[in-house]
């Protein structure tokens, strides 16, 4: 399968806290690292996203008295899953996986850095109104299609893919270059929503055989 013209690879949150042993570990999260490293060489450009929370972030269960991780709470902008403390700015858990090749990335989009609002998507925070500026970057650089890989399929990958479609970009999620949290059917729901939104799916094998544009 040829890589679409005017494409960019978006590598979502391949950080220690989302890998085995991390604070919010994604099963097999580290398995995406060699795949993502191989893929990045196939694209003219790739960027990274980095979950980047201040201590006491509103998405942390520990911030809300009597609440436990993985419960849902209503915040000013709507429903929010509460997470274990993770990806705290400047901590080893927030660092990229040691084997992830980061030097070739042209941009790092940090998200979730405001204390009172979470941001799963690389485009909009969880109020679905506050932009990160990523759309402007992509438009002014002339990109039309995003290939998305990374963690977690059912949260930051899916929210980024759905917002990218809403912003008018073509989107392909590279299935085996992603790994999921998958709680309470979240992975199946994410694939359903992505399918309805016109997100395409690909396997890394089919892309690694093709030429970068
Ligand atoms: C993520 C939950 C909380 C993700 C980030 O990267 O998918 N999930 N923060
Ligand atoms: Zn987070």
**Contact in structure between 17 and 23 (CB atoms under 8 Å):** yes
**Distance from CA of residue 103 to its chain's centroid?**
19
**Does residue 155 have its Cβ closer than 6 Å to ligand 1?**
yes
- Asked if residue 86 is part of any domain, the answer here is no
Sequence-distant (6+) residues with CB within 8 A of 203 are 174, 175, 176
**Residue nearest (by alpha carbon) to ligand 1 atom 6:** 156
The mean pLDDT value for 181-206 works out to 97
Instruction: State yes or no: is 87 an active-site residue.
Output: no
* Residue 210 clears pLDDT 70, i.e. is over it: no
Quote the pLDDT of residue 186: 97
- Asked if residue 88 is part of any domain, the answer here is no
- Asked if residue 72 is part of any domain, the answer here is no
- Asked if residue 66 is part of any domain, the answer here is no
The mean pLDDT value for 51-68 works out to 98
Cα–Cα distance for residue pair 155/6, rounded to 1 Å: 25
Instruction: State yes or no: is 19 an active-site residue.
Output: no
Quote the pLDDT of residue 4: 82
Cα of 59 vs centre of ligand 2, distance in Å, is 7
Q: How confident is the model at residue 83 (pLDDT cuts 50, 70, 90)?
A: very high
- Asked if residue 76 is part of any domain, the answer here is no
Domain total of the chain: 1
How confident is the prediction for the chain on average, in pLDDT?
96
**Contact in structure between 120 and 87 (CB atoms under 8 Å):** no
- Active-site option among 51, 87, 154, 156: 156
Strand order in the sheet with 200-202: 108-111, 46-51, 7-12, 145-151, 170-179, 200-202
CA-based torsion, 187, 192, 193, 197: positive or negative: positive
User: What is the span of the domain harbouring residue 150?
Assistant: 7-54+94-208
Whether omega for the bond prior to residue 152 falls within 30 degrees of 0, making it cis, is: yes
- Active-site option among 111, 118, 154, 178: 111
Cα–Cα distance for residue pair 166/173, rounded to 1 Å: 15
The mean pLDDT value for 73-101 works out to 97
Cα of 27 vs centre of ligand 2, distance in Å, is 16
CATH code: domain of residue 29:
3.40.50.850
Question: pTM of this prediction?
Answer: 0.96
Quote the pLDDT of residue 5: 86
* Residue 38 clears pLDDT 90, i.e. is over it: yes
Backbone angles phi, psi at 136, to 5 degrees: -60, -40
> How many other CB atoms are there within 10 angstroms of residue 182's CB atom?
16
- Asked if residue 85 is part of any domain, the answer here is no
Pocket test for ligand 1, best of 86, 117, 190 (most atoms within 8 A of CB): 86
**Does residue 156 have its Cβ closer than 6 Å to ligand 1?**
yes
Quote the pLDDT of residue 211: 53
The mean pLDDT value for 125-131 works out to 96
Cα–Cα distance for residue pair 134/50, rounded to 1 Å: 13
Q: pLDDT > 90: what percent of the chain? A: 95
Quote the pLDDT of residue 213: 45
The mean pLDDT value for 139-148 works out to 98
* Residue 126 clears pLDDT 70, i.e. is over it: yes
* Residue 72 clears pLDDT 80, i.e. is over it: yes
- Asked if residue 202 is part of any domain, the answer here is yes
* Residue 43 clears pLDDT 80, i.e. is over it: yes
Distances (CA, A) of 159 to 57, 69, 118, 123, 165: 19, 20, 12, 9, 10
């Amino acid at each position: 399968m040829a890589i679409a013209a005017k494409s960019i690879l978006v590598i979502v949150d391949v950080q220690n806290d989302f890998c085995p042993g991390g604070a919010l570990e994604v099963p097999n999260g580290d398995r995406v690292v060699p795949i993502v490293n191989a893929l990045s060489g196939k694209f003219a450009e790739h960027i990274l996203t980095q979950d980047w929370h201040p201590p006491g972030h509103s998405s942390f269960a520990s911030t809300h008295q009597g609440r436990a991780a993985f419960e849902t709470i209503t915040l000013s902008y709507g429903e929010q899953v509460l997470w274990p403390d993770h990806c705290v700015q400047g901590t080893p858990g927030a660092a990229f996986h040691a084997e992830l090749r980061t030097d070739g990335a042209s941009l790092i989009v940090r998200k979730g850095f405001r204390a009172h609002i979470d941001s799963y998507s690389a485009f909009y925070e969880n109020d679905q109104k506050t932009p990160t500026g990523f759309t402007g970057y992509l438009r002014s650089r002339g990109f039309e299609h995003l290939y998305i890989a990374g963690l977690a399929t059912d949260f930051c990958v899916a929210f980024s893919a759905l917002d990218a479609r809403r912003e008018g970009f073509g989107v392909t999620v590279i299935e085996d270059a992603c790994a999921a949290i998958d709680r309470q059917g979240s992975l199946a729901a994410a694939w359903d929503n992505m399918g309805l939104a016109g997100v395409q799916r690909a396997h890394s094998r089919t892309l690694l055989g093709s030429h970068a544009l």
